[in-house]
Amino acid sequence: MDYFRYLDNRLHCEQVPLDQIAQQVGTPFYCYSQATLERHFDVFNNAFGTSDHLICYSVKANSALAILDLLARRGSGFDIVSGGELERVRRVGCPGNRVVFSGVGKTETEILAALEQRILMFNVESHSELLRINTLAGRLGVQAPIALRINPDVDPITHPYISTGLKRNKFGIPHTQAMEIYALAASLDHVQPIGLDCHIGSQLTTLDPFVDALKRVKQLVIALRRAGIPLRYLDLGGGLGIPYDAHSIPPHPERYAEALLQELDGLKITLILEPGRVIVGNAGILVARVEYVKEGEEKRFIITDAGMNDLIRPALYDAHHTILPVMRRFDREEILADVVGPICETGDFLARDRMLPTFHSGELLAVRSAGAYGFSMSSNYNSRPRAAEVMVSQDRFAVIRPRETIHQLMEQETLFA
Ligand code: LLP
């Protein structure tokens, strides 16, 4: 459930009409609802009830400081994948012991920075990364807490670009090598194996793959404990999907938590979850203005001032995002249309072959479910300044990141003299 709805046929975020924000901030802009973010975090967190657990929101989904700050104040920890994300969570005052660090390519600089912040654990993705962390922790004279990210070889049944837990994916350590590499970890002086991690993919719309993966890693935790490696944390990653349209209804977080807790029963361990999309996805929209409407021979093209540099998901994954007029009218006919951006690429579309109401030049439209992997994947392609970001709470809004300026785009550049 979210707080974007029509009041008097004007699309609002909470109590603020989106056309009012557009008038003051310009377009395109991302708009986030604070009440929705809080609700999504609470529903997810409460679903795990009194079980021993820590939510580590996955920063990559949306790394706006205002969002991280809001979640940190609600008790969230964070899943990070870079030195930049580490610095973001440090800036919002999150203590290191609520941070887990994933990713296959951690550099020396990033590992050292994370050791200095005393993070909760490194989710180690290879044998060579384990040795590197041991060496660097030794250099600082500390012990690095680690989990091995185990690739359980389970098919998450999602888009191939966002499935991560299959043998052919670059992520994690094959479950068949787990015992051996844990034994190595236990023998090293400067790493301490305290957990086991697994993340199988994103936008999962059924529970079975999560449960299958959990069954596999649970057996490993039991075997490792028997072998004298007492793990305290089981990190099950993120991945729970969200409804992008009325046809796909992924499981509610309560069903997800129930399924995991039932499977875990009896295994005394602190559960870590790394949700990203399910927290922010439907808490944000992208608002754009229609520049032109062009009648093609087969369909209509609605050309907006937002393009694939602002929201790349449709171009990259053929992702579906619902498009709504900001001002609703009931007298419009619907016609087959593409909503496209100004970028010089055929792949620059926000929606393709969609039945949409007639839009006119100058009108505003909203692209729903854009809070996750929207702004965080945006770029300056075609030398386009990135969009503004706005946060709404009740009847109030503030710009949390101003629109970039063309000057900013090139201020760091020099000519080769
Ligand atoms: N943990 C790890 C280790 C991850 O790799 C990811 C996402 C998450 C947690 C959070 O997953 P979520 O709960 O958001 O599904 N750009 C793609 C999604 C890429 C996901 C990458 N990893 C998209 O726009 O669909």
Nearest-atom index, ligand 1, CA of 373 = 24
Report CA-CA distances (Å) from 225 to 36, 52, 218, 231, 408: 40, 19, 11, 7, 54
What per-residue confidence (pLDDT) applies to 162? 67
What per-residue confidence (pLDDT) applies to 62? 99
pLDDT bin (cut points 50, 70, 90) of residue 103 is very high
Nearest-atom index, ligand 1, CA of 61 = 14
Does residue 156 surpass a pLDDT of 80? Answer: no
Encode pLDDT of 178-218 as tens digits: 999 999 999 999 999 999 999 999 999 999 999 999 999 99
Orientation of helix 83-91 relative to helix 108-116, angle to 10°: 20
- Ligand 1 and 162: CB distance under 6 A: yes
CA atoms of 242 and 248, how far apart (whole Å): 8
Encode pLDDT of 382-411 as tens digits: 999 999 999 999 999 999 999 999 999 999
CA of 241 to the centre of ligand 1 (A): 10
More confidently predicted of 151 and 392: 392
Task: State the DSSP string of 98-114.
Answer: GEEE--TT--HHHHHHH
- Ligand 1 and 237: CB distance under 6 A: yes
- Rg, C-alpha atoms of the chain: 23
Encode pLDDT of 251-277 as tens digits: 999 999 999 999 998 899 999 999 999
CA of 344 to the centre of ligand 1 (A): 28
Lookup result for tokens 């389970």:
154
Q: 4-32+281-410 belongs to which homologous superfamily? A: Lyase, Ornithine Decarboxylase; Chain A, domain 1 (2.40.37.10)
Active site residue 198: no
- Ligand 1 and 314: CB distance under 6 A: no
Q: Which of 202, 248, 310 to mutate to test the pocket of ligand 1 (most atoms within 8 A of CB)?
A: 202
Residue pair 286/305 in contact by the 8 Å Cβ criterion: no
Residue pair 1/37 in contact by the 8 Å Cβ criterion: no
CA of 317 to the centre of ligand 1 (A): 13
- Ligand 1 and 238: CB distance under 6 A: yes
Residue pair 44/357 in contact by the 8 Å Cβ criterion: no
Amino acid identity, position 92: V
What per-residue confidence (pLDDT) applies to 158? 73
What per-residue confidence (pLDDT) applies to 327? 97
CA atoms of 214 and 184, how far apart (whole Å): 23
- Ligand 1 and 321: CB distance under 6 A: no
Residue pair 253/273 in contact by the 8 Å Cβ criterion: no
CA atoms of 199 and 55, how far apart (whole Å): 14
CA of 238 to the centre of ligand 1 (A): 7
The CATH topology of domain 34-279 is TIM Barrel (3.20.20)
Encode pLDDT of 45-69 as tens digits: 999 999 999 999 999 999 999 999 9
Domain boundaries along the sequence of the chain: 4-32+281-410, 34-279
What residue owns the CA closest to ligand 1's atom 24?
A: 373
Task: State the DSSP string of 300-361.
Answer: EEEEES--TTT--HHHHH-----EEESB--SSPPEEEEEEE-SSSSTT-EEEEEEEEE---T
User: Beta partners for 124?
Assistant: 148
What residue owns the CA closest to ligand 1's atom 16?
A: 373
CA atoms of 102 and 154, how far apart (whole Å): 19
CA atoms of 380 and 410, how far apart (whole Å): 11
Does residue 282 surpass a pLDDT of 80? Answer: yes
- Ligand 1 and 172: CB distance under 6 A: no
Does residue 417 surpass a pLDDT of 90? Answer: no
